[in-house]
Amino acid sequence: MKHTFAKLSIFLSLTLVIWACEDTVPNDPTNLNPISFSSPEEGQTAYFQRYTTTCGNLNLDFELTGDTLEVELIRNNGDYYLKESFTTGSPLYQEGNTTPVSHKIKFRDDYVLIPERTSSTLFFFYGNDTIHVKPAQRESMTQSACRIDFQGQTFIGNEIGNISNFQIGPLSENNKTVVSCVPTFISLDAYLIYDENQLLMSHTVASDGTVSGWHHID
């Protein structure tokens, strides 16, 4: 009975957090014009929900924090920029992170360039400025707890991978492209998971096994 009650409590808590997060997204998501790597247009907008957990208890420690990141494609002097801002209902916004951050993005036929990424919530750890959205070849990757493995070792490198399934709590992505380029001065394992149209997940693992990330809201 105690075990069942504990599971019910976790489920109810998670449900409430999901509602809190979704309340910060526009009421009619069918009217959204999501960011498209292949057909970018000014005003396209994507939303991401923040999650945290630990490698030791990947599912039991999973939590949606209630933070929502709004990412809007804007133009300035003919150039495209990604404007990132936390919605007003987000705990991170209420803690004082109220100023939007913008960084340039350049779209090409089969890749995008993000020259300056250090201020980005989603791309800050990515050491390469190029994201190949239509790679000619993808190496097979597998999930290993909170990390991704390549050829039996934690994936850190310039390879472009394919992950058949990556799941954190109730969040999952199937048959997606994954990259991992982490500067040596940051003690992280980190990944971008995406398809040819959009970024789906930005996932980081600290050296102490603390996990945090952002998952695209459909």
- What pLDDT score was predicted for residue 33? 86
- What's the pLDDT tens digit per position in 154-183? 999 889 999 999 999 999 999 999 999 776
3-state secondary structure of 143: strand
Mean residue pLDDT across the chain:
87
Give the span between the Cα atoms of 53 and 64, in whole angstroms: 9
Q: How many independent structural domains does the chain possess? A: 1
- What pLDDT score was predicted for residue 50? 98
- What pLDDT score was predicted for residue 185? 62
pLDDT at 89 over 70: yes
Give the span between the Cα atoms of 178 and 175, in whole angstroms: 9
- What's the pLDDT tens digit per position in 123-160? 999 988 999 999 999 999 999 999 999 999 999 988 99
Place of tokens 């779209």: 107
Strand order in the sheet with 157-168: 101-104, 79-86, 63-76, 45-54, 210-216, 199-206, 188-194, 171-180, 157-168, 139-144, 147-150, 153-154
Structure tokens given for 19: 């509602």
- What pLDDT score was predicted for residue 132? 96
Cβ–Cβ < 8 Å for 181, 158: yes
DSSP 42: T
- What pLDDT score was predicted for residue 17? 42
* pLDDT band, residue 65 (cuts 50/70/90): very high
What is the average pLDDT across 59-77?
97
Domain around 194: 2-216
pLDDT at 201 over 60: yes
Share of the chain above pLDDT 70, in %: 84
- What's the pLDDT tens digit per position in 15-56? 444 444 444 555 444 457 899 999 999 999 999 999 999 999
- What pLDDT score was predicted for residue 183? 65
> Could you please report the per-residue DSSP string of 161-185?
EEEEEEEETTEEEEEEEEEE---TT
Range list of β-strands (E), 61-209 = 63-76, 79-86, 101-104, 106-107, 111-113, 130-132, 139-144, 147-150, 153-154, 157-168, 171-180, 188-194, 199-206
* pLDDT band, residue 193 (cuts 50/70/90): very high
Q: Which helix or strand (DSSP H or E) is residue 19 part of?
A: helix 2-22
Structure tokens given for 84: 């990132």
pLDDT at 4 over 60: no
DSSP 43: T
